[in-house]
Amino acid sequence: MYVLLLGAPGAGKGTQAARIVDAFHLTHVASGDVLRAIRQEDSELGALVRSYYDKGLLVPDDVVIRVMLSRLDGLDGALLDGFPRTLEQAKALDEALAAKGRRIDKVIYINVPTDELIGRLAGRWICRNDGAHVFHERNRPPRVPGVCDICGGELYQRPDDTVETAQRRLEEYFKLTAPLIAYYRAQGKLCEVNGQQDIEAVGRDLMRCLQG
């Protein structure tokens, strides 16, 4: 079985991906992990991926497709996370799977409103003494603003954890993903899950999608 998990940054894909992998014994194929691994390889493809990372550029569709199809080769099934990310990638994946008599069986879209996503992504504060001490303005605020509850260290906010950065990330995501959602909905494969629920409720709905 091939399952695609869609969801914006902050939607909780990581938590739910682990559940799907355990329940259905699938290989979790996350594009970010695959690209980082390829980047370390002493190979033609590794050098190509490195060249984009080193320049701070996005890896183009044709290279991502090569890398991801190579990773999927030989797998009987997988949970795909982060790939396909564009319509071009989705069509290339469909063609590659069809050539082997396979297909994407189900697409799960964890849908969370933008305002909620920004609230989840922004507002994180990290201890300068220990990066494992993480607080959140809404979900886990420190007792004293700017001070770590655990060691008393100064709390700071990374550039990636601001409202402005969260908005930019989400705008980019939805611009790329909206056509994907329409593409898989037209194929009758899309199952939308309300990501505003608690983790357990999201997990139950997700399992119903996969078992239906």
| 13 belongs to the catalytic site | yes
| 85 belongs to the catalytic site | yes
Which member of 169, 185, 189, 204 is catalytic? 169
| 208 belongs to the catalytic site | no
Residue in 99, 21, 32 with CA at minimum distance from that of residue 71: 32
Written as one letter, the residue type at 186 is A
Question: How many CB atoms within 10 Å of residue 84?
Answer: 26
Which member of 36, 91, 138, 158 is catalytic? 158
Please give the backbone phi and psi of residue 140, each rounded to the nearest 5 degrees, phi first.
-150, 70
| 169 belongs to the catalytic site | yes
- Residue 8 φ/ψ region, left for φ over 0, alpha for ψ in the -120 to 50 degree band, beta for the rest: beta
What one-character DSSP code corresponds to residue 42?
S
Helix, strand, coil shares of the chain, percent, nearest 5, are 50, 20, 35
Q: Which sequence positions are flagged as catalytic? A: 13, 85, 124, 158, 169
